[in-house]
């Protein structure tokens, strides 16, 4: 008898365990919400997938009972009145509630958002098991669950603040501030609501107003973040230390300040502690992004990608997490994955910033070039030829070119920097993206030709030249001749207090002297595209602003003259040149000196090819005959 009871008891326990294992858990943050179709109490069709096609800011799913959910329902009604007519959709589920009771509930509380009666949707099957009411899910426009708010009491005092925080994650500061204020009025946690509002003010650049808000709620972590925003790392660390031992976001701000000063190991320890302390979701996401950035900087690229995805579970709108992950894939050489990751920014409903736009454009261009088989074969052959020329030049010495009169094409090759103390960028890949953009815009300007990055990287690899060897003037001279480059460009960065400085220098490959220096401050450069345009404009002015081209007549056919200068020099139709005739040699002190050349004709370019230009004769001295090898000099524009 006792044995049978034991067996029965074990069977029941086993059955319970099986039921627990087989039962689906309630969807969690980061999961994808399940689709459904239904009719609400007013007869309106409610289709989650159709609603998502409208790209709403967010969708709120609210599971409730008419008993004890009034406060929640009223708060959602306030949000609905503020933004529901625009792009925020609320769908309420009357859990085990009939249509008649729900209509009375909606009329009493003046609710206008969707309310679904029991039986329209299998709530427990799709979003359960639901054991405690109310339950609220906040969804992103791809059905990703951004937040789960379960139960009443203390958790109910966060509803509006969570909606405000979601708007903050999207970068929509106006909505975030308004709903945070509404939350504070409704009795929600004033510190959390104030944190959202203060951070939204920082996003808007209203730093003084943000400081007042943070002081009002006594937010040390907010004030520390504000100090860091202003570039004062020491002050940020000091304030963060005053926040107490259990403030996760204060630790995160401190770690970010340490990273900016190059103290990565110390920052990693602080971030590890911060991850286990309380903070709001957008703050926790920053903590995890920081951990990924340290991993990435230490060469743990695969680990950093996993970490960034964890951060995106907390804040799926994080541009920093997505761009850092995209940079990590690019660093690994996985251009397809890099592009897909960067494209997720726009799909999230958040406007891409200038860095994401720049990186995505560059990655897509690199993908096209990588898929061009003929181009790849041509580059491989060019690399072989260049390597052979380099070795020949190395063995032969530094001979001068046969034609010393013709201006060398303004070709620039950007080489790896030998900077020993690189700047730490919180946005991974910033340095690479800026350098690539400078190369691209300089090439597009038509005032200089830039040696292709792919070709240059492969050549240096084949020649086994590291940055220290490239910095050697003798090596630079050889590389310049091999690449037919007039200048070698180097881009370096340094940190000067709150300022991040870019140094761009151009080394003349004939003299190995620095011919142009440019310094620009990245601080406050919100639009990196405009920043690069300014850099390139300054650079071209320095290396090509007052340059007068010299060349030779290549061929004369009647009134048509061909010259040995073409598009490589940035020439366009309309440019004019003086044709010179060498003067008679002058003998002085037993030495013969070249006579002063005289102008005998003016020619104007009508067509431009890569290496040659076709010209017409505009004027010519009486009796002058133009011939091959005669010198030409560019005339100033009228």
Token digits for 361?
């454009």
Residues in the chain: 638
At residue 269 the predicted structure's pLDDT band, cuts being 50, 70 and 90, is: very high
List, in order, residues 6 or more apart from 29 with CB less than 8 Å away.
Answer: 145, 146, 147, 148, 281, 313, 314
pLDDT digits (tens, 9 = 90+) for 168-227: 999 999 999 999 999 999 889 999 999 999 999 999 999 999 999 999 999 999 999 999
Among 38-42, 119-123, 548-552, which stretch is predicted with the lowest mean pLDDT? 119-123
Which among 110, 70, 112 is positioned nearest to 89, based on CA atoms? Answer: 112
Q: What is the mean pLDDT of residues 493-499?
A: 84
Q: What is the mean pLDDT of residues 610-621?
A: 94
Which among 413, 428, 454, 424 is positioned nearest to 330, based on CA atoms? Answer: 428
**In the chain, domain spans:** 27-152, 373-544, 550-634
For all residues of the chain together, what is the average pLDDT? 88
Among 48-52, 59-63, 525-529, which stretch is predicted with the lowest mean pLDDT? 525-529
Superfamily for domain range 373-544: ABC-type transport auxiliary lipoprotein component (3.40.50.10610)
Rounded CA-CA distance 317/322 in Å is 8
Task: Spell 542-578 as b/e; 16+ CB within 10 A means b.
Answer: ebbeeeebbbbbbebeeeebbbbbbbbbbbeeebbbb
Residue 371 pLDDT exceeds 70:
yes
pLDDT digits (tens, 9 = 90+) for 128-143: 888 888 899 999 999 9
N-to-C CA span, the chain: 115
- For the entire predicted model, the pTM comes to 0.84
The H or E element spanning position 46 is: strand 45-47
Residue 24's pLDDT is what? 62
Q: How many CB atoms lie within 10 A of CB 59?
A: 22
DSSP letters spanning 60-96:
EEEEE-SSS-HHHHHHHHHHIIIIITTTEEEEEEETT
Region 27-152: CATH code:
3.40.30.10
Under DSSP, the state recorded for 144 is B
Query: 508: which strand partners?
Result: 487
Residue 551 pLDDT exceeds 90:
yes
User: What kind of architecture, by CATH, is found in domain 550-634?
Assistant: Beta Barrel (2.40)
Residue 438 pLDDT exceeds 60:
yes
> 27-152 and 550-634: same fold?
no
Residue 41 pLDDT exceeds 80:
yes
């Amino acid at each position: 008898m006792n044995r049978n009871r034991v067996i029965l008891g074990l069977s029941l326990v086993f059955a319970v365990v099986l039921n627990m294992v087989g039962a689906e858990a309630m969807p969690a943050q980061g999961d994808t919400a399940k689709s459904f179709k239904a009719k609400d109490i007013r007869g309106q069709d409610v289709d989650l997938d159709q609603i998502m096609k409208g790209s709403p800011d967010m969708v709120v799913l609210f599971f409730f009972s008419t008993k004890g959910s009034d406060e929640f329902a009223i708060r959602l009604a306030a949000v609905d009145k503020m933004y529901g007519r625009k792009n925020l959709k609320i769908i309420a589920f009357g859990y085990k509630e009939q249509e008649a009771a729900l209509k009375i509930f909606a009329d009493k509380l003046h609710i206008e958002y969707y309310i679904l009666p029991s039986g329209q949707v299998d709530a427990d099957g799709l979003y359960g098991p639901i054991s405690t009411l109310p339950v609220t899910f906040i969804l992103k426009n791809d059905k990703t669950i951004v937040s789960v708010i379960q139960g009443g009491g203390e958790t109910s005092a966060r509803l509006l603040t969570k909606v405000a925080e979601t708007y903050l994650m999207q970068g929509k500061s106006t909505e975030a501030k308004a709903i945070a204020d509404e939350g504070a009025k409704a009795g929600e946690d004033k510190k959390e609501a104030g944190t959202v509002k203060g951070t939204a003010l920082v996003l808007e650049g209203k730093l003084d107003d943000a400081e007042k808000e943070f002081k009002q709620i006594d937010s040390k972590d907010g004030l520390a973040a504000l100090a860091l925003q202003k570039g004062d790392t020491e002050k940020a660390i000091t304030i963060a230390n005053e926040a107490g031992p259990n403030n996760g976001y204060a630790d995160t701000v401190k770690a970010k300040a340490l990273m900016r000063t190059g103290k990565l190991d110390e920052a990693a320890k602080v971030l590890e502690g911060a991850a286990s302390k309380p903070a709001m979701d957008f703050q926790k996401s920053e903590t995890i992004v920081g951990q990924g950035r340290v991993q990435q900087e230490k060469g743990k690229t695969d680990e950093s990608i996993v970490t960034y995805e964890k951060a995106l579970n907390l804040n799926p709108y994080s541009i920093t997490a997505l761009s850092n992950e995209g940079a990590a894939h690019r660093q690994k050489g996985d251009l397809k994955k890099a592009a897909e990751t960067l494209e997720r920014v726009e799909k999230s409903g958040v406007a891409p910033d200038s860095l994401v736009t720049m990186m995505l454009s560059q990655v897509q261009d690199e993908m096209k070039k990588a898929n061009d088989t003929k181009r790849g074969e041509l580059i491989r052959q060019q690399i072989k030829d260049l390597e052979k020329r380099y070795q020949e030049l190395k063995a032969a010495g530094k001979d001068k070119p046969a034609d010393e009169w013709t201006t060398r094409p303004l070709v620039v090759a950007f080489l790896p920097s030998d900077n020993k103390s690189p700047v730490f960028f919180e946005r991974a890949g910033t340095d690479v993206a800026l350098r690539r953009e400078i190369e691209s815009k300089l090439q597009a300007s038509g005032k200089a030709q830039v040696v292709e990055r792919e070709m240059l990287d492969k050549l240096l690899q084949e020649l086994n030249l590291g940055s220290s060897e490239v910095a050697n003037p003798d090596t630079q001279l050889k590389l310049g001749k091999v690449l037919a480059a007039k200048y070698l460009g180097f881009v370096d960065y340094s940190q000067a207090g709150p300022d991040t400085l870019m140094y761009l220098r151009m080394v003349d490959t004939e003299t190995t002297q620095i011919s142009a220096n440019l310094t620009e401050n990245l601080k406050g450069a919100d639009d990196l595209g405009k920043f690069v345009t300014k850099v390139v404009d300054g650079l071209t002015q320095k290396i090509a602003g007052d340059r007068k081209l010299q060349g030779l007549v290549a061929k004369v056919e009647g009134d048509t003259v061909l010259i040995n200068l073409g598009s490589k020099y940035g020439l366009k139709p309309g440019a004019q040149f003086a044709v010179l005739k060498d003067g008679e040699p002058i003998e002085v002190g037993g030495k013969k000196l070249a006579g002063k050349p005289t102008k005998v004709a003016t020619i104007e370019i009508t067509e431009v090819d890569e290496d040659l230009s076709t010209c017409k004769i505009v004027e010519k001295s009486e009796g002058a005959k133009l011939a091959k090898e005669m010198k030409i000099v560019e005339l100033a524009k009228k």
